[in-house]
Structure 1
Amino acid sequence: MNGAPSLRTPSQRIAWTTTIVASTLVFFFLMAPILAIMPLSFSSGSYLTYPLPGLSLRWYEDFIGSPRWMMSLKNSMIIGVAATVLSMVLGTLAALGLAQWKSKFKPLVLAVVLSPVVVPGVITAVGLYFFFAPIGLTGSYLGLILAHTALATPFVVIPVSATLQSFDMNLARAAASLGASPLYAFRRVILPLILPGLASGALFAFATSFDEVIIVLFMAGPEQRTLPREMFSGMRENISPTITAAAVILTTVSVILLATLEGLRRRNERLKGNSA
Structure 2
Amino acid sequence: MESHVSHRNRLWLYVLVGLVVFYLVAPALIVVPVSFSSTTSLSFPPAGWSTRWYEAFFGQEKWIGSLWVSLRVAFGTMILATVTGIAASYALHMSGFRLRSAIRATLVSPLAVPAILIAVGIFFVFARLGGLLNTLHGLILGHTVVAMPFVVLTMSAGFESYDMSQEMVARSLGATRFKAFMTVTLPQLKFSVATAMLLAFLVSFDELIISLMVSSGPVSTLSRVTFATLRDDVDPTLAAVSTLMLVMTSVPPLILHIVTTRSKREDA
TM-score, scaled relative to structure 1: 0.91
Amino acid at match of 1:98: L
| 2:85 match | 91
Are the aligned partners of 2:82 and 2:148 in contact in 1 as well (CA < 8 Å)?
A: yes
User: Out of 44, 51, 61, which is 2:55 matched to?
Assistant: 61
Q: 2 CA distance for matches of 1:75 and 1:203?
A: 18
Q: What secondary structure is seen at the aligned counterpart in 2 of 1:156?
A: helix
Are the aligned partners of 2:63 and 2:225 in contact in 1 as well (CA < 8 Å)?
A: yes
1:269 aligns with 2:264: yes
Amino acid at match of 1:151: V
Q: 2 CA distance for matches of 1:147 and 1:267?
A: 36
User: Out of 17, 22, 33, which is 1:23 matched to?
Assistant: 17
| 2:6 match | 6
| 1:156 match | 151
User: Out of 160, 163, 184, which is 2:179 matched to?
Assistant: 184
CA shift, 1:185, in A, is 1.1
| 1:144 match | 139
Amino acid at match of 2:64: M
Change (3 A) 1:51 1:191: closer
CA shift, 1:255, in A, is 1.7
Q: 1:205-243 CA deviation, whole Å, 9 max, x = no partner?
A: 100000000000000021111111111011100110100
Are the aligned partners of 2:154 and 2:195 in contact in 1 as well (CA < 8 Å)?
A: yes
Q: 2 CA distance for matches of 1:116 and 1:268?
A: 33
1:248 aligns with 2:246: no
1:32 aligns with 2:26: yes
Are the aligned partners of 2:33 and 2:45 in contact in 1 as well (CA < 8 Å)?
A: no
1:226 aligns with 2:226: no
- TM alignment of 1:113-132, pairs within 5 A: 113-132=107-126
Q: 1:24-60 CA deviation, whole Å, 9 max, x = no partner?
A: 2101101121221111100000001234221000000
Amino acid at match of 2:239: T
Q: 2 CA distance for matches of 1:166 and 1:112?
A: 22
1:82 aligns with 2:65: no
Q: Unaligned stretches of 5+ in structure 1?
A: none
Amino acid at match of 1:106: R
1:72 aligns with 2:66: yes
Q: 1:96-146 CA deviation, whole Å, 9 max, x = no partner?
A: 001111233121111101011221111111111111111121111111011
Change (3 A) 1:124 1:264: farther
Q: 2 CA distance for matches of 1:264 and 1:93?
A: 25
Q: 2 CA distance for matches of 1:124 and 1:146?
A: 12
Q: What is the root-mean-square deviation in Å for CA atoms of aligned residues? A: 1.7
CA shift, 1:270, in A, is 2.9
Amino acid at match of 1:81: F
Q: What secondary structure is seen at the aligned counterpart in 1 of 2:67?
A: helix
Aligned residue pairs, count:
264
Q: Unaligned stretches of 5+ in structure 2?
A: none
Are the aligned partners of 1:196 and 1:268 in contact in 2 as well (CA < 8 Å)?
A: no
CA shift, 1:18, in A, is 2.4
* Higher mean C-alpha displacement, 234-243 vs 161-170: 161-170
TM-score, scaled relative to structure 2: 0.93
Amino acid at match of 1:26: V
